[in-house]
Amino acid sequence: MSASPQPAQASADSTVVQVILAVALGHFLNDLMQSLIPAAYPLLKDNLALSFAQVGLITFVFHGTASVLQPLVGLYTDRRPLPYAMAVGMASTGIGLVLLARAESFGQILLAVALIGLGSSIFHPEASRIARLAAGMRPGFAQSLFQVGGNAGSAIGPLAAAFVVMQRGQLSIEWFAAVALAGMALLWGVGRWYVAVGAARAHARKSRAHAARPLPAATVRLGIILLILLMISKFVYSVSLSSYYTFYLIEQYGLTVGQSQMCLFIFLASVAVGTIIGGPIGDRIGRRRVILWSILGILPLTLLVPWLPLVPSVIAVSLAGLILASAFPAMVVYAQDLMPHSTGMVAGLLFGLAFGIAALGAAGLGVLADHWGIVSVYRICAFLPLLGLVAFLLPNPRDGSHLP
């Protein structure tokens, strides 16, 4: 006797928290390892007598590899799922770390960071697809939990570099290959879950997606274009803080490096909180409203930041970071709702754009800061949230309508 569709559908709609936690932990390990690259720049620059241009090229190769390959990996796994791809991505990152630890030339460093970028490009779209698959009726919750794992890893990575790599030297980078081994074991288990259970859930979801009336191509195209504009606003302002906030605090308020780092930690902690709350709120009130108010809503704060005394400025920046961070989980789920047949490709596209926009934004803001000063850059960036106005035009994934 064949099973009725109702139990299968009910199973596909349930939330498998253990799997979501596993991919979130995998995201933590992945981003911890990749954040060692910029944290180790001073050491690599001294050991190999690199120029600033060469350091910039290292960043370009890493971000470029991750940015370009992520949507391609997502597109492939949407059509031909690879249950153990995430474990393979961890292996690539681990090999890259070993090569980086033993690199004796600039070319070897580029090869090492390219392998780390490859590992990240394999991990992100597939992990996001699995998180969506395990989410059931709570995709925003799953995406937030998944992304906060990455935020935590990015925050811990520089601390690991400061207390291990900077103290023990370049060769100690390879110690973190053990993190990759732990990630491989963890994500191999997720792959086994997919083979045993996840594939059936994916089939049930695809059947429902095929039965639903697809949105017109023009509506989908409009939604994706508007999302890209919103991502430019979000990630350029975010990278102005993650890359230059300490320099701004030192110049504007005369803080020491240690004091500025503490303010940066407060900002990063606020970002983690915002990432956690953004998805569940989107599940309740709708993804488009979260995107709108998380970007446009910070405008009063960003306009005030360059003119405030130290303590109110740090509070305003932290609140802006918290609110702004809530947007990205909602963006990913919203895009997946627009294109339910291509959830892996969509996640890869958005994560790839996030890498690319952040890299280009950091480079562009650095040029502006050299010419006009870091304080002027923050006064200019304060107007970026105005791009959030285009969120009013985001189509509803259900019927193509706009926000009221």
> Tens digit of pLDDT for each residue in 205-245?
555 555 556 678 888 889 889 988 888 888 888 877 776 78
Q: What span, in angstroms and rounded, lies between the C-alpha atoms of 333 and 343?
A: 9
What's the pLDDT score for residue 22?
Answer: 94
Single-letter code of the amino acid located at 351:
F
374, containing H or E segment: helix 374-381
Q: What span, in angstroms and rounded, lies between the C-alpha atoms of 278 and 333?
A: 11
Residues of the chain with pLDDT under 50: 1-10
CA 238 to chain CA centroid, nearest Å: 12
In a domain, 4, yes or no: no
Q: Is the separation of the CB atoms in 358 and 63 below 8 Å? A: yes
Task: List, as own/partner pairs, every contact residues 244-253 make where C-beta atoms lie below 8 angstroms and the sequence separation is at least 24, other chains included.
Answer: 244/365, 244/366, 244/369, 244/374, 244/377, 245/317, 247/369, 247/374, 248/374, 248/375, 248/378, 249/310, 251/373, 251/374, 251/375, 252/306, 252/374, 252/375, 253/310, 253/313
Residues 162 and 50 reside in one and the same domain: yes
Residues 200 and 226 reside in one and the same domain: no
Domain-terminating residue out of 183, 211, 239: 211
In a domain, 6, yes or no: no
Q: What span, in angstroms and rounded, lies between the C-alpha atoms of 10 and 147?
A: 26
What's the pLDDT score for residue 401?
Answer: 56
CATH label of the domain that carries residue 183: 1.20.1250.20
Q: What span, in angstroms and rounded, lies between the C-alpha atoms of 129 and 77?
A: 9
In a domain, 174, yes or no: yes
What's the pLDDT score for residue 4?
Answer: 42
Q: Could you tell me the sign of the dihedral formed by the alpha carbons of 165, 171, 176, 178, in that order?
A: negative
Residues 176 and 233 reside in one and the same domain: no
Residues 299 and 201 reside in one and the same domain: no
In a domain, 400, yes or no: yes
Residues 194 and 342 reside in one and the same domain: no
Count: domains in the chain = 2
Q: What is the full DSSP assignment across 102-116? A: H--SHHHHHHHHHHH
What's the pLDDT score for residue 311?
Answer: 93
Residues 339 and 279 reside in one and the same domain: yes
Residues 143 and 276 reside in one and the same domain: no
Residues 98 and 128 reside in one and the same domain: yes
Residues 183 and 261 reside in one and the same domain: no
Residues 101 and 170 reside in one and the same domain: yes
* Burial class of residue 10 in the structure, from the number of CB atoms within 10 Å of its CB (0-12 exposed, 13-18 middle, 19+ buried): exposed
Domain-terminating residue out of 158, 188, 211: 211
Domain holding 31, by residue range, is 11-211
Q: What is the pTM of this model?
A: 0.69
In a domain, 273, yes or no: yes
In a domain, 74, yes or no: yes
Q: Is the separation of the CB atoms in 315 and 37 below 8 Å? A: no
Residue 315: both structure tokens together: 């509070």
Q: What span, in angstroms and rounded, lies between the C-alpha atoms of 149 and 153?
A: 6
Residues 70 and 198 reside in one and the same domain: yes
Nearest to 245 by CA among 97, 385, 377: 377
In a domain, 3, yes or no: no
Residues 380 and 398 reside in one and the same domain: yes
In a domain, 1, yes or no: no
What's the pLDDT score for residue 208?
Answer: 57
Domain-terminating residue out of 176, 195, 211: 211
What's the pLDDT score for residue 9?
Answer: 47
